[in-house]
Amino acid sequence: MTDRSAYICRRVFDGEKIRSNAALLVEEGRVSRVSSPSDIPEGFSQVELGEGILSPGLIDLQVNGGGGLMLGDAESVADIDQICSAHVRLGTTALTPTLITDSPEVTRKVVDLGIAAWKDRVPGFQGLHLEGPHLFAGRKGAHDASLIRPMTDDDIRLYLRAADELPNLIITLAAETVSPDQIATLAGAGIRISLGHSGASYEECRVAVNAGASCVTHLYNAMSPLQHREPGMVGAALDLGGLSAGLIADGVHVDPVAIKIALKSKSGPGRIFLVTDAMSQTGTDVTSFFLGGREIFRSDGMLKLADGTLAGADIDLPSSLKYLTGVVDLELETALAMATSYPAGFLDRNMGRFSEGQPADFVHLGDDFTVKSVWMNGQAV
């Protein structure tokens, strides 16, 4: 018997706009279409969700850990599944687990585990994000300066192999520490190059973009600021239309006024999308944990090293949506797109929308953005 269900909700966001009193039609675990409840065909079982928002599953391209684990500490595919599961339960049905600057051995291990996780179809896993180690130590943030290093031919070979076997690979690097030729080689293989943890000038960023860089990692944080005589990386992110940018909207990393300015300034095909920069505490109630032997303390919605340096963020995507629509006063459709279709567009993947034939990954959010239910491939999680 064919599995056909119609999910009826007060508001349905299709990846671009909100439809009032609409129904998402799902057949055999895949999206059919969004319709009016009065146009539901015969043979569909009807699921009344009532109030709230039905949205494509959320997408997070910067997730350092979750469920009590950091990606660098993973030793098995089951560990990667543990990280992904913590975020899936919070409405994020597609993510790229992120490795913070580490040794060549750990980087190779994580790449191999990521390839295995993709082959095993770990729910939610959509590739890897390598944040480092080719960064500028002067803008290291919580990264271990002793592990930051130049890019070698061995690194490039590893990244090219990973790109060939993963659905997506993002690499954050500093424009001033990696050559344009290296960027061009990686970007030419389909790797998404993101600029971050960098003191690069506007011109250095422009050269990197011309070589193939297409994004900026956690806008405003750990990068050269916008100044009136040197626009820096922030200026490049807002001025160069082809650059997308990840944004942490937790009320700690970026002031709401700075968020408003960025959203008003950004034009062109590049978009600003939400990331959490989540750490291992996501989905747990721990008050501290360790990163590379250094203790990170969790309090008042912040994660900090002992010296006060911010070390990731203590927020999930639904909470980010609440912050954007409440504190920043951003319209709901734009905020939802920043967590769905915009990051999907950066990856150039047909996700983050209710498109015919796509896997039925979706989330029901309350009006206060609490996660009520999550589905993957049409099945409740």
Amino acid occupying residue 246: G
The span from the CA of 123 to the CA of 88, in Å, is: 8
Q: Environment class of residue 284 by beta-carbon count within 10 Å: exposed (0-12), middle (13-18) or buried (19+)?
A: middle
217 close to 197: Cβ distance less than 8 angstroms = yes
Distances in whole angstroms, Cα of residue 2 to Cα of each of 5, 26, 29, 45, 233 = 10, 11, 10, 11, 52
Find, among 63, 73, 67, the residue nearest to 290 by Cα: 73
**Residue 277 is among the residues annotated as catalytic for this protein:** yes
Cβ-based burial of 377 (10 A; exposed 0-12, middle 13-18, buried ≥19): middle
The CA distance from 219 to 295, in Å, is: 25
Three-state DSSP at 47 gives strand
CB 338 within 8 A of CB 272: yes
Q: Which two tokens stand for residue 362?
A: 């979706």
Rounded Cα gap, residues 322 and 139, in angstroms:
30
In order, the DSSP letters of 219-279 are TTTTBPPP-SS--HHHHHHHH-TT-EEEEE-SSSSS-HHHHHHHHHH--SS--EEEE--B-
Please give the Cα distance from 8 to 6 (Å, whole number).
Answer: 6
User: What percent of the residues of the chain are helix, what percent strand, and what percent coil, each to the nearest 5?
Assistant: 30, 30, 40
Catalytic residue chosen out of the listed positions 277, 314, 316, 361: 277
CB atoms inside a 10 Å sphere around CB 295: 12
Separate counts of helices (H) and strands (E) for the chain? 10, 21
User: Which residue is listed with tokens 């699921």?
Assistant: 47
Residue 44 three-state SS: coil
Question: Which residues are catalytically annotated?
Answer: 277
